Amino acid sequence: MKLIVERKPESLVVFDITADDDEFAEAMTRAVRKVSRDVQVPGFRKGKAPRSMVERLYGREVFLREAADDVMERLYRDALKQEDITPVGEPSVEVVELEPVNFVVTIPVYPAIELGDYASVRVDPVDAAVSESDVEDVIQRLQKAQSPWIAVAETRSPVEGDQVTIDYEVMDGDEPFQDPVSDAVFILGETNLLAPLRDKLEEMKVGETATFELAFAEDDETADPTIRGKTLSYTVTFKEHKERQTVELDDEFATRVAGAESMDDLRNQIRLDIHQGKTTNGRTEVVNRIVERMLETATVDPPQTMIDEETEHQLQHFKENLERSNTPYEGYLRLQNKTEDDLKAELRPEAVRRLRSSLLLAELGRAEAVEVGAEEIDAEIDRLTSLIGPELGADTSAAGAGSEADPAVAENAEAQSEVAGASSEDPEAHTSESGSGLDSGSDDELDEPTLTPDAAGAQIEQMRQFYRSDYFRNMLRTELYERKLTDRLIELATEGKGAVLNGWVAPELEVGANDTPAVADPLTTSDSVDGSPIDTAAATADATSSLPADGEGTDWVAGDGTHTVPDGFPIKGNADSRIYHPEASPSYDNTIAEIYFATPEAAESLGYRLPKSMQRAGADASAEASDLAAAAADAAETE
């Protein structure tokens, strides 16, 4: 064959292939035999008509196309082997000539990546120090969340921070622009409200109805795309007006929202939680900046087929997020006045960024000779296996029997979740009238039957075997590889300074005279819910009324109010907040548990979750391993 190879942008390779005369002649002979066997010619038995009769009846092209199909596939495979090319998607084929066959194949291939001078990239570490303004911001959000809404005593126009309830209609000329809306509630300055509409509301009083027009410019990015360039008529009725009755920031407030002894104690709890979050988020931010800067020096040009596949992946992820929020996909498209192609076009830039980053990181790993050895995988598997606990043997079903719940535990645990949640970046996370914002999990009894100790032991052994399977080892290899690679990039780009300055470090434990671990930091000498300490005196109280109805002795046992961890049940849990602490949790050693689980999977199956501080710490090795183990357990169930 004659082969011409051309490389094009977007990681495309073009083969221009022409068959040799002799090669095509042989293909024609095979084609004639095959076609003649399959066609019916009047006056001849099937397959017995001479070539000339078949050609006269069906035309010469029928043989040429059969010969072309025969030879093209073989020549294409030979060309791939000769040029050592592996396609990453379906090629496109154009037949130029049939005799001898000449065809052009355009093949998407894995991109050739040029890293550039990536080692010269420099990124400053992030400072995770917590300022007093950081703490006060959280205090103010807590204060808002705890302050009840009350009706405005004297009739007046609303101001920033007030809550208004309105009815409104919107007309586009003589036609309704949308269905009328009743009892819409907004908080001025906090709710996403069109600025011109807010200005009009600030001129009104309760009981008044106003009709006015609002014109929106074509380039007004603050307005929804559906109203840009339009002049709409609004009719608004101001129905109800409320203001916050601001609560006092005193020790009673601190106790109510977090079980803290004083406002100083509350601030210390908040400071610790913010510090943990800043440390974790800071590392992620630095890694992202490093990759962005290294992409600027590199040449990464993925083919369109890889971009299309990543866009489809992003679309599927988007659909899953909608499903989790109980939003129908088709309904979302109608509401946004979009087609699926419109949505794909919006997702494509992010898909390209993710794909280029992924390809770059893979090439950086090769350049830096980042590898994960079998001994590293074995060590991590041993650590994960140890979290499952030894075989169930002793009868622990009577642990904690007959104890009663202390309501102070539930109150403190719920308030602690409020503190931890208030330190998130979402300013609207706690603006409900109750201010709780809690998800304490379901109290419904489980339908699954209680496992016997033998059955539980068999499941534990099954998980151990799965951890050592090739499937899980490959998952773990990927996890450890990514961790080592990002550590190396941080070392290069920060010149060894690390990703985070003044970062949070888990407190070191000291062993006292009675061999009971004691924490050196006096601010963390108590239990922790989502990284915030609570009163250990309340935590030591039993709470068996909040314990699960099923699974005792197999999935869980009750705590006895001490630091003693029952054999086979290493996972500590808080029965009222429904938070569990694996051994990797920074708060594990300080936690006096009300319930102990055999495995993290058992905890999650009963509605418990990790602390928020560990959920955020995606880069932390222990948290990643726990998440990986959970994913592996899910995969094992589906296989």
Do 85 and 219 share a domain, yes or no? no
Amino acid (1-letter code) at residue 5: V
568 inside domain: yes
For residues 16 and 107, is the Cβ–Cβ distance under 8 A?
no
Do 60 and 170 share a domain, yes or no? no
626 inside domain: yes
Q: Considering Cα of 620, then 286, then 110, then 367, what sign does the dihedral take? A: negative
Measure CA of the first residue to CA of the last residue in the chain; give whole Å. 47
Determine which helix (DSSP H) or strand (DSSP E) holds 609, and give its type and residue range. Answer: none
- Residue 601: the pLDDT is 78
For residues 429 and 437, is the Cβ–Cβ distance under 8 A?
yes
Query: How far, in whole angstroms, is CA 462 from its chain's centroid?
Result: 28
The CATH number that applies at residue 165 is 3.10.50.40
Residues 188, 160: Cα–Cα separation, whole Å: 5
Give every CB contact of residue 108 below 8 A, 6+ residues apart in sequence. Answer: 10, 11, 12, 87, 88, 89, 91, 303, 304, 305, 306
26 inside domain: yes
As a residue count, the chain comes to: 639
Do 280 and 413 share a domain, yes or no? yes
580 inside domain: yes
Which one of 87, 108, 129 terminates a domain?
108
Do 632 and 581 share a domain, yes or no? yes
**What are the structure tokens assigned to 105, written together?**
């194949």
Do 22 and 155 share a domain, yes or no? no
Amino acid (1-letter code) at residue 392: L
270 inside domain: no
Determine which helix (DSSP H) or strand (DSSP E) holds 506, and give its type and residue range. Answer: none
Determine which helix (DSSP H) or strand (DSSP E) holds 186, and give its type and residue range. Answer: strand 181-187
Q: What are 92's strand-pairing partners? A: 106
For residues 108 and 303, is the Cβ–Cβ distance under 8 A?
yes
**What are the structure tokens assigned to 371, written together?**
């590898």
Do 103 and 187 share a domain, yes or no? no
Do 289 and 223 share a domain, yes or no? no
Do 513 and 411 share a domain, yes or no? yes
Do 213 and 294 share a domain, yes or no? no
Residues 72, 84: Cα–Cα separation, whole Å: 18
**What are the structure tokens assigned to 75, written together?**
């020549």
This prediction has a pTM of 0.57
305 inside domain: no
For residues 557 and 457, is the Cβ–Cβ distance under 8 A?
no
The CATH number that applies at residue 100 is 3.30.70.1050
- Residue 308: the pLDDT is 92
Which one of 59, 79, 108 terminates a domain?
108
Q: What are 228's strand-pairing partners? A: none
Amino acid (1-letter code) at residue 366: R
Do 420 and 569 share a domain, yes or no? yes
- Residue 122: the pLDDT is 96
Do 443 and 592 share a domain, yes or no? yes
For residues 103 and 72, is the Cβ–Cβ distance under 8 A?
yes
3-state secondary structure at position 222: coil
Q: What are the 10-residue block averages of pLDDT along the chain, 639 residues in total?
A: 88 90 80 69 64 65 79 89 88 87 90 92 94 93 92 94 94 91 92 87 94 90 83 94 94 89 92 91 93 94 92 92 85 88 94 94 94 91 73 36 33 35 36 31 42 72 82 89 93 94 70 35 30 29 51 77 76 74 66 81 78 46 45 49
- Residue 431: the pLDDT is 32
- Residue 506: the pLDDT is 67
Give every CB contact of residue 85 below 8 A, 6+ residues apart in sequence. Answer: 13, 107, 109
Which one of 59, 88, 108 terminates a domain?
108
345 inside domain: no
For residues 251 and 413, is the Cβ–Cβ distance under 8 A?
no
Amino acid (1-letter code) at residue 299: T
Quote the domain boundaries for residue 228: 149-244
Domain count for the chain, please give it: 3
Pairing of β 12-18 and β 2-8: antiparallel
Do 104 and 166 share a domain, yes or no? no
131 inside domain: no
For residues 544 and 558, is the Cβ–Cβ distance under 8 A?
yes
